[in-house]
Structure 1
């Protein structure tokens, strides 16, 4: 479900999930140019990173990150996953995306009432109603945080990078902004927590990863997404996920092996 009809939330998606009977294992939360919000309705969402030990969350916020997050599961995963655009982060939480970049924390630490409503109201309805109930709760929350809008130059640079799927140079962004490279980079990094060059790499990786998931040949993806060659694409996938493209596909295919059909 994409929230095109909810104010200020274009580009934000809600995905209820219910996985039962899988072989216990792990699932990779891959880097993307979004912030994630996960309402776990099972026994808790267990996350770890390259720098941190496993920790259990109930309603978790995961800031935009440049490295994978590992989800540890016992064969059951039940809840609702939201992919939040930068505008949604400001509208819902009253902070900049950069303020939560590369972090995983309980929503209750920042917005306890919203965390409680999401957990209680989603847990009280049938699985097929959770997406609609989540959208209603989110819509009612909009504007409560009262945060000012993003810097317009940083926001415009982000939008241009997104529209180009990362195939836009920093020098071109600087030219379009009218600022110096140093000034634009400072504005951009303060808002998003990463610089324009890192964001461009992240947009490009996200686009390439989606095409890989769709079954396109790796060499064709490299050309279409602006990598210099297949080896360049492979280096970027390894940097962002720890795995080259084919190994990533294999790992993702086996993450919930044996799960019951929905």
Structure 2
């Protein structure tokens, strides 16, 4: 059973999942990174360029899904180093520190709450995120072209690409594509027909939408939504 709620950390989501049995888990790319807890271990889910597909792992999961661009500052690791990866936090930080943090989360009545506290502590230590990153996400999420976004923000294309790799894990064109996918899925799940969804989400046509959905998720739109 999966549940989620808004976090006290701005833009983040706290979630828990207890798989009901064996089966395939498909995590769709959304530009986010997650701080994870699973049966006593702390992990990090990097930004995905394609759907992450794995067989259901038994046991309880908890996570804090961090909005695009915020995790690298908290973790001290550029996002592109974690692209398409699930890594133990001990692979990124000193093992002794991770053991102390894991013990704190393991001792909590609710690991998800403890994980949220950990994320809040990290955010307090690192300070507010660079506002430029939020402006990049907002522009691309609204469907603005990459070149137009760079001009509007007063940064060159090369600088925008470098900042995007470090903050989001991939360049702005890939980020725009992932955010467009999320726009389309939100519309389709609200009952908007696929042809209209394609136009409103910024695709050339429904065939373009279908190709992108299949490439990014591994499934055709109707099967994915079904």
Normalising by structure 1, report the TM-score. 0.72
Aligned to 1:108: 90
Residue 66 of structure 1, CA deviation: 0.9
Over the aligned positions, Cα root-mean-square deviation in angstroms equals 2.8
Aligned to 1:83: 65
**C-alpha distance 154-130 of structure 1, shift in aligned 2 (>3 A):** closer
Single out whichever of 228-237 and 88-97 deviates more from structure 2: 88-97
Q: Deviations over 1:152-180 (max 9, x none)?
A: 65553234223x1xx11022113213344
Higher RCO (C-alpha 8 Å, min separation 6): 1
Indicate yes or no: 2:139 matched with 1:160. yes
Distance between the aligned counterparts of 2:184 and 2:101, measured in 1?
33
- Equivalent of 1:94 in 56, 63, 76: 76
Aligned to 1:2: 6
Aligned to 1:64: 47
Q: Does structure 2 retain, via aligned residues, the 8 Å contact 1:40–1:79?
A: yes
Give the 5 Å matches for 1:1-262: 1-3=5-7, 5=8, 9-20=9-20, 22=21, 24-41=22-39, 58-73=41-56, 76-111=58-93, 112=95, 115-117=98-100, 119-126=102-109, 129-144=110-125, 150=130, 153=132, 156-162=135-141, 164=142, 167-250=143-226
Q: Does structure 1 retain, via aligned residues, the 8 Å contact 2:68–2:167?
A: no
Q: Deviations over 1:107-159 (max 9, x none)?
A: 12113456435543444344xx3333322232233344x59965x65553234
**C-alpha distance 188-154 of structure 1, shift in aligned 2 (>3 A):** farther
Gaps of 5+ in 2: none
Residue 235 of structure 1, CA deviation: 0.5
Residue 93 of structure 1, CA deviation: 0.8
- Number of equivalenced pairs: 221
Distance between the aligned counterparts of 2:156 and 2:169, measured in 1?
19
Normalising by structure 2, report the TM-score. 0.82
Single out whichever of 212-221 and 62-71 deviates more from structure 2: 212-221
**C-alpha distance 95-113 of structure 1, shift in aligned 2 (>3 A):** same
Between Structure 1 and Structure 2, the one with more helix by share is 2
